[in-house]
Amino acid sequence: MATNRNDEFIREVDEEYRRDQLAKIWERYSGLIIAVVVLVVGGIGGWRYWQHAQETRAQAAAVQFENALKLSNEDKSQEADAALEALAKEGDTGYSLLARFRLAAERGQQNAEQGAAAYDALANDSGVAPLWRDLARLRAAWLRLDTIEPAQIRQTVEPMAAPANAWRHSARELLGLSGLKAGDMDYAGRWFDQIAADRETPPALRQRLAVYTALVAGGPVQVTQ
């Protein structure tokens, strides 16, 4: 019994000591503790407000983009371009980048060089991620397939035909077509072979590949006067 009483007494003294120490800590650092709590709560509140604002802006941008596409589908090209240009100028949402690519595509349908120039602007924009800059270069090269020398296309596009590149399928197809256009069947065949060997080649491209390989087998077209 005496031992139990001694243990209980020790615990009471220990708890009293701890309370006394906490009281002293609070008395000394209460201002700092309150300031830290205010900062933490304010930071959480600010972060949630920022998230909400970002979500709201993204939702508004999505609606703008959908409306622009609707106008384009209704052949209201001027209204669609104006909506896309307004969205492209915002510059802080993914939809602004989509708007810029869509504008370049729309212009490319009307005038290949104007569309290619719009893609050039994307490709040269350091604020755009490298992945999308490569896509812009590839799209510009497609639009210029019939207007520039095959060597220029090859210089731009060959790095994107590497096995690990996200755009390798389109790049290889374009390079093969540049070879066909130049009458260089060996060059064209090399890229078409890579398309055939790649297990991840899209089905639609494999269907076109049958036509391409037949053209390569037929050899250069002889132009007669």
pLDDT of residue 101: 87
- DSSP-derived secondary structure for 12-69: HHHHHHHHHHHHHHHHHHHHHHHHHHHHHHHHHHHHHHHHHHHHHHHHHHHHHHHHHH
pLDDT of residue 194: 96
pLDDT of residue 44: 61
pLDDT of residue 63: 62
For the stretch 189-224, pLDDT in tens is: 999 999 999 999 999 999 999 999 999 987 765 544
Question: Alpha carbon of 33 to those of 38, 42, 65, 223: distances in Å?
Answer: 9, 14, 48, 87
Residues sharing a CB contact under 8 Å with residue 123, sequence separation 6 or more, in sequence order: 133, 134, 136, 137, 140
Amino acid of residue 199 = R
Low-confidence ranges of the chain (pLDDT < 70): 1-78, 80-81, 83-84, 88, 90-93, 220-225
pLDDT of residue 69: 61
pLDDT of residue 19: 64
pLDDT of residue 95: 76
Would you call 83 exposed, middle or buried from its count of C-beta atoms within 10 A (0-12, 13-18, 19+)? buried
Would you call 178 exposed, middle or buried from its count of C-beta atoms within 10 A (0-12, 13-18, 19+)? buried
What is the length of the chain? 225
Amino acid of residue 182 = A
pLDDT of residue 13: 46
To the nearest 10 degrees (0 to 180), the angle between helices 2-73 and 77-88 is 150
Domain boundaries, the chain: 58-144, 150-220
